[in-house]
Chain A
Amino acid sequence: MAEQQLPERQSPLEPEYHPGSHGNFEHGVDVILSETRPGSILQLAAWPGEEKRLIEAIRKVTGLALPDGAGGGVSNGARAVFGFAPGKFTVVDEAEGLASTFAGVITPAIGTLTDLSHGRTAIRIAGPKAEWVMAKFFAIDFALPAFPLGAGRSTNHHDIFAQIQRSGADQFDIYVFRSFARSFWKALCHASEEVGYEVQ
């Protein structure tokens, strides 16, 4: 009998994902674009008044302590969490199966858990011109004091809703709907041409 095989997750970017240097890179590559392909992308929402218990549950499961304040977040490389709306948080893990870890912890009295692992595509933009390219897409302030390390933002680009987390001083992780991801990716590549970009 043939062995049972888990289906390989396909990237929606595949037909437009071309590793290598592109655009105006003769004078150097100023942004690096990549798809991070995390195994788990979850949305957690607390009922009104239950926010603190939800934040504590996130800390218990992921080990990540959310800072106070709207849009606060933190990442440790393998896992990331950020607030994107009042009482709502996105939690990301390199590994699959984070939803089942949370299942017993987020009780119906605290709030809800939605597994978006297959519904979102994670795109990373890094490099000295990352802020510049992002500022062409989104009407928000990407300067470090206004958008601190680890923080999250909800905004959109031409009706494509995007959640953005600053995962480094010059690095952003963008979560977009999977069905719009290829279109967004193509636009991001076009926008990066002028500064020279590398797809990894």
Chain B
Amino acid sequence: MLITCPYCGPRDVIEFTYQGDGNRERPQPASQDLDAWTAYVYDRLNPAGDHNEIWQHSGGCRAHLRVVRNTLTHEIRSTTFARGGHKAEGRS
């Protein structure tokens, strides 16, 4: 599986580290909303198809990336820098 890093270009998946579901919205640190925190920690969409994910190019430029990966085919539809706050295009 190849992931195209926006800085380094196409690289083998072993250079990357999965950082988790990219759909999570972290509540404000001072938030007392237990439901929001529970959703942040536990609720996952687990879609069969395009999925927003956060990856780090840990064995390369070390940038954090927003990746849209198809969970059925492992096709990588898009990769962008996580910095900048752009939501990836996949199902959310």
Residues of A within 8 A of B (CB): 48, 70-71, 84-86, 88, 139-140, 153-156, 159, 161
Q: How far is the CB of B27 from chain A (nearest CB, A)?
A: 25
Bound-state CA distance A196–B81 (Å) is 42
Q: What CA separation (Å) do A88 and B8 show in the bound complex?
A: 13
Quick check: is B24 within 8 A (CB to CB) of the other chain?
Answer: no
Residues of B within 8 A of A48 (CB): 83
Q: Are B81 and A86 in contact (CB under 8 A)?
A: yes
- The verdict on A155 contacting B81 (CB below 8 Å), with A71-B8, A139-B11, A140-B11 known, is no
Contacts of B8 in A (CB 8 A): 70-71, 153-155
Interface residues of B, Cβ cutoff 8 Å to A: 6-9, 11-12, 14-15, 59-63, 81, 83
- Taking a contact as CB atoms under 8 Å apart, the answer to whether A85 and B62 are in contact is yes
* Distance between Cα atoms of A84 and B12 in the complex (Å): 17
A139 touches B61 (CB 8 A): no
Q: For the complex, what is the distance from the CA of A70 to the CA of B7, rounded to whole Å?
A: 6
Do the beta carbons of A85 and B63 come within 8 Å of each other?
A: yes
Residues of A within 8 A of B60 (CB): 85, 154-156
| Pick from B9, B14, B59, B63: contact of A86, CB under 8 Å | B63
10 A-B pairs with C-beta separation under 8 A: A70-B6, A84-B61, A85-B61, A86-B7, A88-B61, A139-B12, A139-B14, A154-B62, A155-B8, A155-B59
Cβ-closest chain A residue relative to B84? A48
Point out the residue from A86, A140, A159 that lies within 8 Å of B61, measured CB to CB: A86
A154 contacts which of B12, B14, B61, B83 (Cβ < 8 Å)? B61
